[in-house]
Chains A and B, each alone.
Chain A
């Protein structure tokens, strides 16, 4: 699995939200830290992307694209803030 950062997940998330989310910030449910999507760690594979907190490594979000659908789960985020 390739260790990247949240910049690499920007395309898959833009397919879902029709926005570039790299500047969107999220709060980690584990350690409470806030970081931009671009600052999160991203583990990329052919299955999809796993985003982890850059401070405590908790899984924040999982993006899986398969069979024409993109599935997103947010198991480790207590809040997300997007630009206007």
Chain B
């Protein structure tokens, strides 16, 4: 049975630096029904004058627990993310609406086609949840993650991804693209993802992978367009855009 979306009150348990502009937020949500890997929720803030603003955030955790993990990147001038990143303290409460987004989820055992994940920046959050669920279930489906970040320090869940890759062996491959600066000793030149690089790093269309793409809108639309040019079918490519610029 799929967890049903409802309004919940979450209490912040922990806030830690994820990248120079983002924080990892762990909420305790006693009424949370659990969530599938890849789903999202809306965070709603209410000002003292009653003004409300809400934004969608992908959930980094999955499964039946009542701890909900988000990783929120600050959008300068935004209505919600600067508050979550700079002001929210342990013990503070927010309204959470979810889990949402059954379209953009991965379920163990549902489909044995290989899975290609493509992330830009904080777009890795739901894809990390999928990779962690894949490992947690010991699922045999081949996974490959292509992760584009500006610099090594901008990667979300970097240590966890390295651990997953080590645990999963040949069931999970991670390919990095650094757009501004690569780690020392990196055998390549930093630069944006291109169609040729995508063709080189992604599971080929001939293997009929399911593809999940998440990131800023321009990134997602470029990648989804290239994937179709490379022979992937529109309905095999599941996308989630979070706006902003690449």
Contact = CB atoms under 8 A, between A and B. Distances in A.
Given A11-B42, A14-B5, A14-B97, A4 B104 contact: no
A7 B103 CA distance: 8
A14 B243 contact: no
Contact of A7 (B4, B104, B244): B104
B217 A3 contact: yes
Interface string A41-62: 0001010000000000000000
Contacts, number: 70
Contacts of A8: 56, 241
A2 B228 CA distance: 24
B242 A20 contact: no
B189 interface: no
A7 B101 contact: yes
B78 to A, nearest CB: 10
B42 A4 contact: no
Query: Which applies to chain B's interface (DSSP): helix, strand, loop or mixed?
Result: strand
B100 A4 contact: no
B243 A4 contact: yes
Contact of B101 (A3, A19, A20, A39): A20
Contacts of B241: 3-5, 7-8
Contact of B54 (A4, A11, A18): A11
A44 B78 CA distance: 14
Contacts of B5: 10-11, 14, 18-20
Interface residues of A, number: 21
Contact of B103 (A11, A15, A19, A23): A23
B238 interface: yes
Interface in B37-85: 40-42, 53-54, 56
B104 A38 contact: yes
Interface in B156-196: none
16 contacts: A2-B244, A4-B243, A5-B240, A7-B100, A7-B103, A7-B241, A8-B241, A11-B54, A11-B100, A14-B5, A19-B4, A20-B4, A20-B99, A22-B100, A37-B103, A46-B53
In order of increasing CB-CB distance, the 8 nearest A-B pairs are A38-B103, A11-B42, A22-B103, A10-B100, A2-B243, A14-B5, A23-B103, A5-B241
Interface of B: 2, 4-5, 40-42, 53-54, 56, 97-104, 217, 238-244
Given A11-B41, A11-B54, A11-B98, 17 more contacts: A3-B217, A5-B239, A5-B240, A7-B100, A7-B103, A7-B240, A8-B56, A10-B56, A10-B100, A18-B5, A19-B4, A20-B2, A23-B103, A38-B101, A38-B103, A38-B104, A44-B243
